[in-house]
Structure 1
Amino acid sequence: MAGRDSRLAGISPGLVYIPESRIDLRSDDDIAAQLKTFKEVTSSDKNVWAFWNTGFDSMHPWTQRNVINWVRRLGPSWTVRVLDKVHGSDVNISKFVPAKYLPEAFNVGSMTGPNIGPHSGDMVRLPLLYIYGGVWMDVGMMLFRHLDDICWNAIEDPLNPYEMAGMSIEINPGATNMLNGFIAAKRGNGFIKRWHDIYMEVWKNGRTEQTGLHRHPLLNHLPILYAPTNHLNLPGALKIGPEDFTDYLGHFQCFERLRKLVDHIDGFDGPKYHRENIFMLPAMTETWKFQLLTAWNGKRQFELLSTKKDVEDDSEKTELYHEANDFVLDLLANTSTMKLSHGPPGALDSFLADIWDHKDNHDKDIEPGTFAAFLRYGSIHFDQTRIVHPAPVPSSSEKTFNIAVLQPYREPEGVLT
């Protein structure tokens, strides 16, 4: 990687260099060794949690580099952990989360289906946040800002009402939903506990996989999910059915239940909490901007990032070069994170995550001289000058449900559904 002086010309408005004194400059191997070593949780809530059920060493190289770069960027004030389910591992989930917080299928290893890894992550993220506090990030996420600047300062500010942070998105028309790949909260958060209680309940009674989750008595009153193509810039409808899409997002649906629920027993008001106490970052600009700019085309993203950046002769800078340059600088300056995912499997024609997973592409995210390598470099060495503002959650005419957290909803007699 070229030094700083040769990269000054690549800085665009909205970007400044981070002093090297604030960057963890240890080798990848040293940081990886730390990530695989048990570290006791202190009284600090500044924990970053991630999970890969088969362990850090089995992660795809580009996701390993994501996490290593979290450590580099965040410095010593945050502790990053990637937990697993590997027997004998120093970072086995059992060392952090008691079995009572996890579904039977997780504890006994009876989960089935194609999405064991993602749904195992769904099972552990909320208890980790509830017990210890911090930020959950999926390992497919690249970080372009410090977590303090993204949301944690807002959560810690006693003058703010915020107790949580997340990424907001509209999946069903007129509804402000929240994704679960980035969640921030201090320990003991009541919303986090209720959300997890719901998810635990839908995985009871011998459930081992996702099929039919949308029909569970706690979720069957909620609308089936689908991704609108207009404001998401999708090229067309998803290539899986809405029921399968909704089942895949069962954890998301448990959030949906809670945000629409007013508990007549303990007075918890989900709509009010969602509107006033969650620092909502707009997902389409703060984590999926790369999708918005490329119409969710993984092959196009791969093409842009694989383009050679180190071209000295201006006459050799093609239209593709300029598109790639604009794309990467926009991401580095104007979005907090970049969340690459693999699913729902089959939903789109191509995912960049799948392409980088392939053995022939294991180093394409750091190939010297490319815009991908520059994006990696910038994620560590550049800081943004813009201020992140929450996206207000508007008052909604959506139906609310006066039920306890674990009480099925039943339409009043005489009401047609």
Structure 2
Amino acid sequence: MGSLNYPLPRGLHAIPPESLDTRPDAEVDRDISRPKPVSGEKNVWFFWHAGYGAMHPYTKRNVRAWHRRLAKRGWTVRVLDRAPGSPCNVANFLDVSDPRAFPRAFADGAVRGRYAAQHVSDLVRWPLLLRYGGVYADVGLLQIGDLDRLWNETVADPASPFEVLSYNVNGGLANYFLACRAGNPFFERCHRLFLALWAEDGGKTSTDGMHASPLLKGAPLMSSSATIQEDGNTIGPDKVQKMLSDYIVQGQATLMVMGLVDDEDGWDGPRYAADHIYAIDYMVGSQLINEFTNWDGKKAFELMSLPLPKDGEIESAEQKQAREIVEACLQKSFGFKLAHGLIIRVFRYTLGSLWRDHEGSDDVPGTYAHWLRHATTYWNQDELPPALRFPVIEPFKRGPLLREE
């Protein structure tokens, strides 16, 4: 079966060629590496500390697919960095010395810790969205659904109540996909709280222990039943929840603002979340391969590496499972998050980590991985994903955002 002749699942359609940027990779890379000045809110923001040229090949393919599908619909895809002299340096888009935008550790290049690179990228998301608007996505996010249509029918439509797009993660938001117009009041409060967390104890250089801040009192920790085996020791679920909450403390800040009622400021977070946030169920919407494989990264890698049956060949049980995974992702998911951070300590392998370690394995024509990749560039879904609406919850906190409880 040729690489351009994959089965088109029900509920999808081919994007007209004139709506795609089909130039060679090198020309697309040149555009991404030389970003246009910001001229509107149709921006897709990525971040890689060392720059686009230093990214792993499979994440470059992710970003190129976003560009190919969206560039002719008015979107500009940018991968910002902190590389000296780079035209994509964050400092060319934001004032990194402004304490209202960044903590001192970011400006000084002093963010530390096991996941410092991830936390530097966390710190650029809200300042970019608040200043310019658009979408922030991790470089490991495959985009499957029709982002342009979702944007146009929600946050960009004055008649729509929705002001924020994301994924609903057990009542919170996934920070690997965030979208809004410039100056969004929800993310403005989230970022103020985030900066306050970084400013505690005279200025933090890592997120270690941030989950215990009085500013987050009342917000539940990230849920996890996982254990971690390291150096012959077992780290139990209670400690894993704290580690996870520190790792994704940006999510803790988001959760706190969603659960805050501040009458002095006129802010009702539970009502805002229920009325104004369009969040897709994160498991179906962005983690479906993991659900199909019970979070077994090696199994996912092996299945995606299989070749599709050739004409006349009988489909094996493994090929059937791989086909069902690809079809389900394309029909039901809005994206797929290839994870590489703390999750590696829990599961050891993920599909993303194995694509990284086996260069080119995600891009072999005739495989299920390539079928999925082909779809993320050349096809689109007929319908928009449903939102998993937030109920109006009892507030975690009543009072000013930055008052310690």
> Which residue of 405, 408, 417 corresponds with 2:404?
408
Q: Which residue of structure 1 aligns with residue 250 of structure 2?
A: 251
2:372, 2:184 → 1: CA distance?
Answer: 35
Q: Which residue of structure 2 aligns with residue 107 of structure 1?
A: 107
> Which residue of 319, 340, 343 corresponds with 2:341?
343
1:240, 1:149 → 2: CA distance?
Answer: 41
1:225, 1:156 → 2: CA distance?
Answer: 31
Does the 8 A contact of 1:149 with 1:388 survive in 2? no
Does the 8 A contact of 1:297 with 1:349 survive in 2? no
Q: Which residue of structure 2 aligns with residue 66 of structure 1?
A: 62
Tell me the TM-score normalised to structure 2 length.
Answer: 0.92
Q: Which residue of structure 2 aligns with residue 122 of structure 1?
A: 122
Aligned AA for 1:298?
G
1:354, 1:391 → 2: CA distance?
Answer: 29
Does the 8 A contact of 1:164 with 1:277 survive in 2? yes
Deviation string, structure 1 residues 129-152 (Cα, Å, up to 9, x no partner): 000000111100011123123344
> Which residue of 86, 92, 97 corresponds with 2:94?
97
Does the 8 A contact of 1:341 with 1:351 survive in 2? yes
Deviation string, structure 1 residues 66-92 (Cα, Å, up to 9, x no partner): 001100011331000000000000010
1:9-20 equivalences under 5 Å are 10-20=7-17
Tell me the secondary structure at the aligned position of residue 325 of structure 2: helix
Q: Which residue of structure 2 aligns with residue 413 of structure 1?
A: none
Deviation string, structure 1 residues 78-120 (Cα, Å, up to 9, x no partner): 0000000000000100011112111111111111111111111
Shift, 1:279, TM fit: 0.9
Shift, 1:313, TM fit: 2.5
Does the 8 A contact of 1:152 with 1:184 survive in 2? no
> Which residue of 208, 211, 214 corresponds with 1:214?
211
Shift, 1:261, TM fit: 0.8
> Which residue of 196, 205, 211 corresponds with 1:201?
196
Does the 8 A contact of 2:286 with 2:337 survive in 1? yes
Does the 8 A contact of 2:215 with 2:403 survive in 1? yes
1:300-315 equivalences under 5 Å are 300-315=299-314
Q: Percentage identity across aligned positions?
A: 32
1:273-292 equivalences under 5 Å are 273-292=272-291
The number of aligned residues is 389
Q: Which residue of structure 1 aligns with residue 168 of structure 2?
A: 168
Aligned AA for 1:194?
R
Shift, 1:225, TM fit: 2.1
1:169-188 equivalences under 5 Å are 169-170=169-170, 176-188=171-183
Does the 8 A contact of 1:239 with 1:348 survive in 2? no
Shift, 1:3, TM fit: 6.2
Deviation string, structure 1 residues 197-252 (Cα, Å, up to 9, x no partner): 111111112311121111222124322222368xxxxxxx8696221111111100
Tell me the secondary structure at the aligned position of residue 365 of structure 1: helix
1:368, 1:19 → 2: CA distance?
Answer: 22
Q: Which residue of structure 1 aligns with residue 232 of structure 2?
A: none
Tell me the TM-score normalised to structure 1 length.
Answer: 0.89
Q: Which residue of structure 1 aligns with residue 42 of structure 2?
A: 46
Tell me the secondary structure at the aligned position of residue 31 of structure 2: helix
Does the 8 A contact of 2:46 with 2:80 survive in 1? yes
Aligned AA for 2:291?
L
Tell me the secondary structure at the aligned position of residue 110 of structure 1: coil
Does the 8 A contact of 1:239 with 1:347 survive in 2? no
Tell me the secondary structure at the aligned position of residue 203 of structure 1: helix
Aligned AA for 2:276?
N
Deviation string, structure 1 residues 245-286 (Cα, Å, up to 9, x no partner): 111111000011111111232211111111111111111111
What residue ranges of structure 2 are gaps of 5+ in the alignment? 227-235
1:152, 1:405 → 2: CA distance?
Answer: 31
Shift, 1:387, TM fit: 3.2
1:120, 1:404 → 2: CA distance?
Answer: 27
1:39, 1:239 → 2: CA distance?
Answer: 46
> Which residue of 187, 212, 225 corresponds with 1:192?
187
> Which residue of 81, 85, 88 corresponds with 2:82?
85
Give the superposed CA RMSD: 1.8
1:241, 1:68 → 2: CA distance?
Answer: 35
Q: Which residue of structure 2 aligns with residue 389 of structure 1?
A: 386
Aligned AA for 1:200?
L
Deviation string, structure 1 residues 173-204 (Cα, Å, up to 9, x no partner): xxx11111111100011111111111111111
Aligned AA for 1:338?
F
Tell me the secondary structure at the aligned position of residue 195 of structure 1: helix
Aligned AA for 1:192?
F
Tell me the secondary structure at the aligned position of residue 339 of structure 2: coil
What residue ranges of structure 1 are gaps of 5+ in the alignment? 171-175, 230-236, 410-417
Tell me the secondary structure at the aligned position of residue 142 of structure 1: strand
1:31, 1:181 → 2: CA distance?
Answer: 23
Task: Describe the shift of the 1:70–1:238 C-alpha distance in structure 2 as closer, same or farther (beyond 3 A).
Answer: farther
2:135 corresponds to 1:135: yes
